[in-house]
Structures are given as C-alpha cells and as structure tokens.
Amino acid sequence: MSSEIPWHALEADESLKRTDSTEDGLAADQAGRRLEEQGPNTLEAEEGAGPLKLLVRQVHNPLIYLLVGAAVLSLAVGKYIDAGVIAGVIVLNSLLGFFQEWRAEGALAALRQMGALHARVLRGGEPTEIEAAQVVVGDVLLLETGDRVAADARLLSADELQVDESALTGESQPVGKQPPRVDEEIPVADRKNMVWMSTNVTGGRGQAVVVHVGMQTQMGQIAGEVRTTVREKTPLQKRMHKLGLVLGGAGIALAAVVLALELVRGYRVVEAVMFAVAIAVSAIPEGLPAVISVTLALGVRRMADRHAIIRHMPAVETLGSTTVICSDKTGTITRNQMTVCKLWADGKTFKLTGEGYRPEGALRTADGQPVEQLPETLETLLRIGVLNNNARLHQDGGQWRAEGNPSEAALLTAAHKTGLDRKTLQGESERLHEVPFSSDRKYMATLHPQKGGDGRVALVKGAPDRLLEFCSHVRIDGQVVELDAERKGAIESAIGDFATDALRVMAGAFREFSADKDRIAPEDVEEGLTLAGLWAMIDPPREESIQAVSDARDAGIHPVMITGDHAATALAIARKVGIAGDGEVLTGADIDAMDKPALAEAALRSGVFARVSPAHKLKIMESLREQGHVVAMTGDGVNDAPALKGADIGVAMGRAGTEVAKEAADMILTDDNFATIVHAIEEGRVIFSNLRRVVYFLVATNIGEILTMIAALLIGMDLPLTAVMILWVNLVTDGACTIPLGVEPKHWDVLKQPPRNPRESILNRVLIRRMALLTPLMAAGTLLMFWIAKPAADLAHARTVAFTTLVAFQWFQAFNARSHYQSVFSIGVAGNRWLLAGVGLAVLLQVLVVHTSLGQTLFGVTALSAMDWFWIVLTSSSIWVADELLKRLGVHGQVPQRKGSFSL
Ligand code: ATP
C-alpha cells in the first residue's frame, strides 16, 4: 500500500473506485462480507475476556498462591488428606470464581452492546444506522453535527463541515473540511479532505467514504485511546483487592509469629505447622473478588433493565453519592412532544386546536371564533416554519410520528393544519444555504429565492428574545412597519404571557436580499430582520418527573433544571414538577456575573437556570463540584461534551443525544427520562449497600476466625479448627450466603437516606463497630462449645462441635448482614428468598459433612448428637439475638421515619 498515492491526494471519485464502492455506499451483503474479512472497527485491545483468560485470572491470584503454600506445607508434614482437601478447595474456588465471572462477563458484554456508539452510513443508497464497530472500508458515512466520526474516511461532499480534531492533533479549534484533493506531502492535521476516527463533527454536514477501520486508522496507529469502558475496575474493587492482599500479608505474618511461639513452647512440629497454616488461611477472604464483580455486574444489569446503561464502571459507585442532579428540561423533564397551540401575528393571538403531530385541527381567534381566511402575516410565519425546517412527519400505523427536532416537527404540523403542505412549499422554494441551529446561537436561518420576485430571502426562526434583538421591523396586516418601543413592548408582553403559561415560544422573521446573494453568514441575519410572528407550543412535563423530583429531595439530592428556553417558561415548568426553589430563575447573564461560590449557592437555592449555553453548564457544574458536591449532569449536544466529561456522572440521552455526548458520558438513558436518573441513583445505592453487606459478612467471618484461633493459642488450648475446616467456612458456607446477600432487594428506605459521603470507606464506623461487638461473640461461642466438648477426651468430636458452631454463626450472621441498623423483621424475614435458599443449602451441606462417612474422612469430623445440634444452634443464634438487640437500641444508627408513620 505504501507505494500507492495516499487517499488525500486522490480525487473523491478515485477513492470510491479504490475502495470498490459507489456514491450509494455498499450493498448490505457486500458490507457483511467485508466485516467478516476485516474484523470489527474497534480500538479495543481485547474484545471480551475469553474463557481461558478468565480461568487464568482465577488462579493467578496471590491468595491462591497462599493456599497452594498451605497445601504444600500440609503435604510436607504428612497431612495428606488436608493437602488433598486444600487442593480440592483451590480447584473448586477457581471453578466457582470462573463461572461467576463468566456470568458477570456475559452481563457486561450485553451492556457493552447497548452502550455502543453508532454511525449512519449509506447501504444500497438508503441511510442506515449501524454500530460504529460494523463500519467497513467502502462504507459511505453520513456526517452531521454531533456525530463522532466512526473511521478514517475521504470526504465526498461537505456543507460547512467543521470537525474538532483535538483528540487526534491537540488542535482545540474546529477545522473546516472540504472535498478537493490536497498535496501528497501535507501533514495529517492539514488534510482537509479527510476525517479521522474518534473526532467530533461540530458543525455542518458531509459524506465520506471509509478508507481505514480499526487499528489501521490514525487513532489506531497511535493507539492512544484504547477504551476499557465497562470492564474498568471500580475504586472499590481496587481497594478490596488491596484489602485482600493486606489481610493475606497480615495472615502470613501472624502465622509466622504463631509458628515461632509454638515451637518455642514445645508443640510438635506437625501441630505447630497446621496451626500456623490454619491461621494464615483464616485471614484470607478468598471469595471476595469474585463476589464483588458478580454483585456489580448483576447490579448494572438491573440498571439497564430500568433504562440506564452504565458506560464506565466506577460510575456505579459514584451514583450512590450523587448530591445534585443538573438536568436539561426539554425531553428529560418534559416529554418533548411539542404541539403549537397558540400563534401571534398582526398584534393578535390565535389558537390552534388538535393534539400531537396529527395534522388535524382548526385555527381560531383568541375568543374561540373560527378563522375563515388565513391572514397574510400568519401565512408568512407558517411558511417560515415549514421552509426553515429539517424535521419530517410520517404516518406509522395510523400514528403520526416526528423525525428530527420535535419543535420543528410541531411547526410542520401547525402549518399543515392551516392547509400549508410541506412538500408543495418546499418544492416551490428550494433552500440555497443554511446557518444551522446551535444552542449557543439559539436560532436557525435559511436562504431561499424570493416568492414571486427575483431577489432572495433569509428566513429565520429561533428564541424570541434573541430574534427581537435582531429585528428592526415587524410585519403588521401585510405591511412592514418599524419596530418601535411600543410595538416591541406589546410583543414582549405576548411572549411573557405565553411563557408564564409554560409554553415554549419561538419567533419567525425574515430579511430580503438582492439576487446575487447565494450564501448567508450569521452577521447577515443578526440585524435588519422583520418579525413575522410567534409560535407558542405546549410541551407537558412527564408525569414521572414530579414523583422523581420529590424522591430526589427525600433522598437529600438537589434537582437543578438547566435549559436554553425562556426564563418564564422554565420557571412555569419547574413549578409544575416541583423543582423551583425560591421562585427565582437565573439566566446566562446572571451566571456570567457571578463568582463560583455564589453560583453554587444560587443553584441550590433556586434550582432553575434559563437561557443558558453549554459553557454555562460547565461553570455551574464546576462551581458545585468545588463546593464538594457530587454532580450528575445531563447533556445531548456536541457542546455538552466538556460538561459531561467533567461531571461526576455524565448522563447522555440515548434517543435525542448525539454520539459525541454519548461517548463523553458515564451513563446513557435509553428513555431520555429524568426519572431514570433518580432510579439509577437508587440502584447505585442498592448496589453499594449490597457490596457493603457482602464485604461486612465476609470480613466478619475472617475476624471471627482469627480471634478464635488467637484466643485458643493464648489460653493454651488445642487447635480448635483445622485449616480445611476454616476453608470450608470461608468458601462453602460463606459462598452460599454472599451471592444472595449481593442481590438483596432494595429496602423501602433507600431513597430516605442522605447521599453517601464519597470519601467514606466501605467499612465505615457502623460496620467496624458491629464487627467489634459481634465477632468476639463468634469466637467466644465457638471456643466455649469447644471447651465444653472436652477436647482432651475426644479432640475430633470437640473440633466437630467447634467447627459446626462457627458455621452456624454464619447462618445467623447472614441474616444480620441484610441490614446494618434495621431489624430483620422490619425488612421482612423472607424478603430475600435467595438468602433463604443459600442458608438452607449451607445447612444441608454441613449436615452432609458431619453425618456422611466421606465428609467425616475428609474433614476429620465425627457425627453429632441431637443434643449437640441443639446447643450449637442455641449458642450460635446468640449473634442474631445480640444484633437485633443492638439494632433495637439504635446502637448502629436510627431508622428513618416511614411515610405515614408517626412518632410521639
Ligand atoms: P434544554 O436545554 O432543556 O434541552 P432547549 O431545547 O430549549 O432546552 P436549546 O436546544 O438550547 O434548549 O434551545 C434554546 C432555544 O432555541 C429554544 O428555547 C428555542 O427558542 C430555540 N430553538 C430550539 N430549537 C430550535 C430550532 N431547531 N430552530 C430554531 N430555534 C430553535
């Protein structure tokens, strides 16, 4: 390939020929074949962890090395059965870990698919949306503002195409792109006829034929951006990995000290070694890493079921700490189903009946009289709405649906209702040029040939207060008159009236030019406009928003609405859903004038921002974060990417969002719904508390065991538990209980608690206090039963009693672990059916160990009498009684008030 002329030095049609493609793109089957040959268009170093890798990951683990060491030591001192059992445990643990992580991997792979980025290509001439990973050489990419370029491609056509290439070249200014060929020698950054993978389209549109995919792209070659997305380890997983190592290290050190002490005290070498091995083993939480990844994976799958797709794993933990949700209004808090219900022209207000996008409805005067003849100015306004429009309406099984911007679709419907048909109008008047809409500009302008003349006319629609600034005239009763202060006042008051009715207002205006005008620039339409009139549309709040706002408040989270819309509209909607704090609305201008601490304070107090641009969003987010808040921020446009990246949780809209916003986000909402953010936070809290349950439970077992062993040693008792017994407790007994604890269903009070402090460790004060109070009980009970069973007379029996007592303690602890401060009766004893099954299984397995000859041989145990069982269960249940008492006394913390309950 190197001797060939590079793509940028080829003409556009030559590059189509060389890729064996056409202007209509590839045929679907041709693309399918190429995908098989070329492989997926990704930069990911590993596409999912294969089974072998997963298995290796299980064995390649310091804790496993320790167990291998224990097995070898047991072998060395002639304890063959112990060595065999430990080896068996290693295999079992690895297999269990493997299957658990396999399941987790499956769940995550499905998620990766859902969170995947997309691209629009021509397949057989038809625009088709496909996953970016499926783009092949020869595909014709359709590029629009907000798209992320899916592969390296040679431009075929471009219309004001602007691309942000900072990810590749470091150049922060967007680069203009045009198709003509350029010199062969030119550096990458100046190849204006090429677009590169992972760069962002910030303006205009274009088409380009793909020439390189995957690792052959410029991005692939510098391999600077190998994405890990959902496979990233969360901070908690990293900390737990460290905790495992620390505990393991401490176990070994302790074991060494014990070994030395015992040898000095004259124990037999075999005994001393087995004691030391048992201590080392008791300190290690073997099951922890696997159960944490499974708990996380099942949790994010539950989130996906509730329409929130996690793209970055650490976000799962951060979600539970969210203190502020900054949300867009349109489409997130409201439904984004716009209907024009009022119009203003010629100084008069009109009503338009009908619902949704169905073009059926009638025009009436303000007092409800039918309008027979469409007034001329109103017709101009409606024509502007149709011609200055990129949306489409189509019928789908009797339902009218909008494609594109819903506000624009509403303008089409409005015109259609009065008999102005899109196809006819657009056929009459072609569009010569366009200044596209952007959230910064807040208007859109198009240039057309003048109707019935040979001049040109620019049609403009946009935010009314912004357009009014550009208007010098207004059209009244067919005449263009000067926009004096009085007329301007009347228009502003009409806008104000609409907005306080929670209506979204847009203005339409025009400006005439001479026939030689064939392009328009923003400067052309930012002065000298003539106002035609106003559209007022209704966009009702989503029903769920009201409940979600109230849930968020209960959960100690501040909802903040940030919108580009008019201040009065914003406030009216905010009032409807309960966001408006003190009734004040802050605008973009206010934000510019404030310093960050004042802004953060104002955001929490008022909760409503209007007329903001994406840069303001960034400032609001930063000011809140500087005050220590954990901020979730929504966004959909290409300019929202910095705010999404900078927020603790960047939330992109799955439906209305651009690919750029999705790529920058930590989480994608598949239903674009504000309530989904609150659900995801709730789920995030549930996941974190489930992790806490699992960690508490496992670490408490380890501490209970260490205490038992050390106390036995200090008192000078025989070894109450052997290494294999301890392994059994850690892996089998605990294993049966931890996975169910990891899926503990949410408790009623999840959203009644304040957000978790992100700096608080998973083992917080409450958990440590509970361990300090309860694990000595575990050790004392086990040793007491051991002592009563008279080890001097029958050591094997006494060990069986101690072993079973320790196991039984875990059965009760599993129920304790379900809540750290609530009685198991108030959350429902049978609330977690999996746990009932898990504990049932643990009991059954213990009975099998104690009462079958195989179990007795492997574990060196003897059968227990009914009386033994009675005392064992009685003793071990003390941990449950004690914990219930502590909870009742409120030692671990107070239960929040249930709604509807009362206190004296
Ligand atoms: P949010 O920020 O909550 O999504 P928004 O959609 O109102 O709200 P923007 O998209 O930034 O925010 O729009 C700002 C303003 O620009 C709108 O209030 C409207 O008046 C105007 N506007 C929106 N879409 C268009 C469009 N396609 N053409 C012209 N003007 C538009």
Say yes or no to pLDDT of 137 above 80.
yes
Confidence of residue 105 (pLDDT cuts 50, 70, 90): confident
Q: How confident is the model at residue 430 (pLDDT cuts 50, 70, 90)?
A: confident
Name the token pair of 128.
């088709």
- Which residue, by CA, sits nearest to atom 9 of ligand 1? 564
Flag the least confident range among 279-288, 388-397, 591-600, 831-840: 279-288
Question: Ligand 1: distance of its center to the CA of 378 in Å?
Answer: 22
Comparing 791 with 329, the larger pLDDT belongs to 329
- How many H-runs (helices) and E-runs (strands) does the chain carry? 32, 27
3-state secondary structure of 608: strand
Task: Give the separation between CA 379 and CA 368, rounded to whole angstroms.
Answer: 19
Among 72-81, 99-108, 698-707, 797-806, name the most confident range. Answer: 797-806
- Residue ID of nearest Cα to ligand 1 atom 10: 439
Query: Among the listed ranges 104-108, 265-269, 679-683, which one has the minimum average pLDDT value?
Result: 104-108
CA-wise closest residue to 384 among 532, 565, 538, 536: 532
Identified catalytic residue from 139, 152, 164, 328: 328
Is 422 near ligand 1, meaning CB less than 6 Å away? no
Residue 224, pLDDT score: 47
Helix (H) / strand (E) element for 326: namely: strand 324-328
More confident position, 320 or 271 = 320
Q: What's the whole-number average pLDDT of the chain? A: 88
Residue type, 212: H
CB 478 within 8 A of CB 376: yes
Question: Considering the chain, what percentage of its residues have pLDDT values greater than 90?
Answer: 49
State whether the beta carbon of 336 lies less than 6 angstroms from ligand 1.
no
- Residue at 272: amino acid letter: A
Q: Who wins on pLDDT, 252 or 443?
A: 443
> How far apart (Å, rounded) are the C-alpha atoms in residues 185 and 846?
76
Atom of ligand 1 nearest to the CA of 390: 27
| pLDDT-based confidence at residue 2 (cuts at 50, 70, 90) | very low
Cα 594 to middle of ligand 1, angstroms: 24
Stretch (H or E) spanning 153: strand 152-164
Arithmetic mean of pLDDT, 102-119: 76
pLDDT reading at 46 higher than 60: no
pLDDT at 168 over 80: no
Expressed in angstroms, the distance from the first to the final Cα of the chain is 84
Residue 463: CB within 6 Å of ligand 1? yes
Give the pLDDT band (50/70/90) at residue 425.
confident
Cα distance between residue 277 and residue 256, in whole Å: 9
What is the residue extent of each domain of the chain? 7-44+118-218, 233-303+680-888, 308-334+542-672, 339-538
The number of the ligand 1 atom at minimal distance from the alpha carbon of 333 is: 3
Q: Which of 404, 514, 347, 329 is nearest to 127 (CA)?
A: 404
- 858-863's contacts with Cβ under 8 Å and 24+ in sequence apart are 858/81, 858/84, 858/85, 858/724, 859/85, 859/722, 859/724, 859/725, 859/728, 859/803, 860/81, 860/722, 860/724, 860/796, 860/799, 861/796, 861/799, 861/800, 861/803, 862/794, 862/796, 862/797, 862/800
The pLDDT tens digits for 259-279 are 888 888 777 888 788 778 878
Which one is predicted more confidently, 640 or 243?
Answer: 640
Q: Which of 305, 379, 333 is nearest to 549 (CA)?
A: 333
Residue 462 in contact with ligand 1 by CB distance below 6 A: yes
Give the model's pLDDT for residue 231: 56
> How confident is the model at residue 12, as a pLDDT?
85
Give the mean model confidence (pLDDT) for residues 649-669. Answer: 90
Structure tokens at 23: 């202007």
For a pLDDT cut of 70, what percent of the chain falls above it? Answer: 96
The answer to whether 16 and 156 have CB atoms below 8 angstroms apart is yes
Distance 317 CA to ligand 1 centre (A): 33
Q: Which residue has the tokens 């205006």?
A: 509
Does 650 score more than 50 pLDDT? yes
Inter-axis angle of helices 80-114 and 51-59, nearest 10: 140
User: Would you call 254 helix, strand, or coil by DSSP?
Assistant: helix
The predicted model gives 769-795 an average pLDDT of: 93
The C-alpha atoms of residue 225 and residue 42 are separated, in whole angstroms, by 10
Cα–Cα distance, 512 to 389 (Å, whole number): 19
CB of 434 within 6 A of ligand 1: the answer is: no
When pLDDT is cut at 50, 70 and 90, the band that residue 242 belongs to is confident
Tokens of 879: 């941990």
Instruction: Give the residue from 695, 654, 703 showing the smallest Cα distance to 677.
Output: 654
pLDDT at 232: 64
pLDDT grade for 223, boundaries at 50, 70 and 90: low
Question: Quick one: average pLDDT of 807-823?
Answer: 93
The answer on pLDDT for 892 being more than 80 is no
pLDDT at residue 226 is higher than 60: no
User: 736 and 842 in contact (C-beta within 8 Å)?
Assistant: yes
Spacing, Cα 788 to ligand 1 middle (Å): 78
CATH class of 7-44+118-218: mainly beta
Is 60 exceeded by the pLDDT of residue 786?
yes
Distances in whole angstroms, Cα of residue 341 to Cα of each of 66, 351, 363, 525, 533: 73, 6, 9, 27, 14
Residue 229 in this model has a pLDDT that exceeds 50? no
Angle among Cα 521, 526, 528 to the nearest 5 degrees reads 110
Q: Which CATH number fits domain 308-334+542-672: 3.50.50.60, 3.40.50.1000, 3.40.640.10, 3.40.50.300?
A: 3.40.50.1000
Active site residue 648: no
pLDDT, tens digit, for every residue of 877-890? 999 999 999 988 87
551's tokens:
């849930």
pLDDT at residue 903 above 60? no
Rounded Cα distance between 506 and 493, Å, is 14
d(CA 8, CA 700): 65
Tell which CATH architecture fits domain 339-538.
3-Layer(aba) Sandwich (3.40)
Mean pLDDT, range 419-446, rounded to an integer? 87
Does the beta carbon of 443 sit less than 6 angstroms from any atom of ligand 1?
A: yes
**DSSP secondary structure letters along 493-562:** HHHHHHHHTTEEEEEEEEEEE-TT-----HHHHSSSEEEEEEEEEE-PBPHHHHHHHHHHHHTT-EEEEE
> Best substitution site from 326, 327, 442, 542 to test ligand 1's pocket, by max atoms within 8 Å of Cβ?
442
pLDDT score for 344:
96
| pLDDT for position 809 | 97
Q: % helix / strand / coil in the chain, to the nearest 5?
A: 50, 15, 30
Ligand 1 centroid–CA 335 distance in Å is 14
Question: Residue with structure tokens 């268009």?
Answer: 41
What pLDDT score was predicted for residue 483?
94
Measure the CA–CA gap between 373 and 350, rounded to whole angstroms: 13
On the question of pLDDT at 387 being above 60, the answer is yes
Does pLDDT of 1 surpass 70?
Answer: no
Say which residue the tokens 């101690």 belong to. Answer: 802
Identity of residue 101? E
Q: What is the pLDDT of residue 44?
A: 63
Buried (b) or exposed (e) across 885-902, using 16+ Cβ within 10 A?
A: ebbeeeebeebeeeeeee
CATH topology of domain 233-303+680-888: Calcium-transporting ATPase, transmembrane domain (1.20.1110)
pLDDT at residue 3, rounded to an integer: 56
Instruction: Convert the pLDDT of each residue in 745-780 to its tens digit.
Output: 998 888 888 898 888 888 888 889 999 999 999 999
Q: What is the CA radius of gyration of the chain?
A: 34
Rounded to whole angstroms, the Cα distance separating 617 from 327 reads 10
For ligand 1, whether the C-beta of 330 sits within 6 Å is yes
